[in-house]
Amino acid sequence: MPEGRDPLVLDSMLGKLATYLRMCGYDAAYALDRGAEADDDLLALAETEGRRLLTRDRSLAGRREDAVLLTEREVPDQLRELSAAGFALELSDEPRYCGTCNAPVEPVDRTEPTPEYAPDPAETAVWRCRDCGQHFWKGSHWDDVAARLAAL
Ligand SMILES: [Zn+2]
């Protein structure tokens, strides 16, 4: 866990934001991936896994001391809110958590076969999600997100 990056859980309205936070190296669980749509389930998940709750629901935020209430609707605005709240928002040096499912990713060996959508690992560093098998690399999407974060 990189310094200053607490494990998080995001409510059902914050799915897109979760993907960004994972690219920044956060262990960012998403309510709907975890079957925790109801407030009580979400609070229980935060409690049992020691995750900080990010929510757009004011009354829910009031039920947990370290919760972060987000008021904005759009992801860039939400990222600005988090930055103002002291969250580190730079891409991690290497992908750590799957943007799709939040499981840890692992490096793909240079000689391993990769799916058609992914580059050749002999030429480009590629990572694979341990759970869902999605492959990641630092391509144009990575650069786009880096630029967007730098512009906050
Ligand atoms: Zn995955």
- Output the CA torsion sign for 53, 54, 60, 65: positive
Residues within 5 Å of ion ligand 1 by Cβ?
98, 100-101, 103, 129, 131-132, 134
- Tell me how far the alpha carbon of residue 136 lies from the centroid of ligand 1, in angstroms: 10
- Tell me how far the alpha carbon of residue 131 lies from the centroid of ligand 1, in angstroms: 5
Amino acid present at 29: A
In this structure, what are the phi and psi dihedrals at residue 89, rounded to the nearest 5 degrees? -125, 65
pLDDT of residue 1: 45
SS3 145: helix
**Model confidence at 50: pLDDT above 80:** yes
What is the share, in percent, of the chain residues with pLDDT greater than 70?
A: 97
67-90: pLDDT as tens digits: 999 999 999 999 999 999 999 999
| Range from 2-16, 83-97, 110-124 carrying the lowest mean pLDDT | 2-16
pLDDT of residue 28: 98
In this structure, what are the phi and psi dihedrals at residue 15, rounded to the nearest 5 degrees? -60, -40
- Tell me how far the alpha carbon of residue 142 lies from the centroid of ligand 1, in angstroms: 17
- Tell me how far the alpha carbon of residue 95 lies from the centroid of ligand 1, in angstroms: 12
34: alpha, beta or left, given left = phi > 0 and alpha = psi -120 to 50? alpha
pLDDT of residue 3: 58
- Tell me how far the alpha carbon of residue 18 lies from the centroid of ligand 1, in angstroms: 13
**H-state helical runs in the chain:** 15-23, 39-49, 58-61, 75-84, 140-150
- Tell me how far the alpha carbon of residue 90 lies from the centroid of ligand 1, in angstroms: 21
Tokens, residue 95: 């992908």
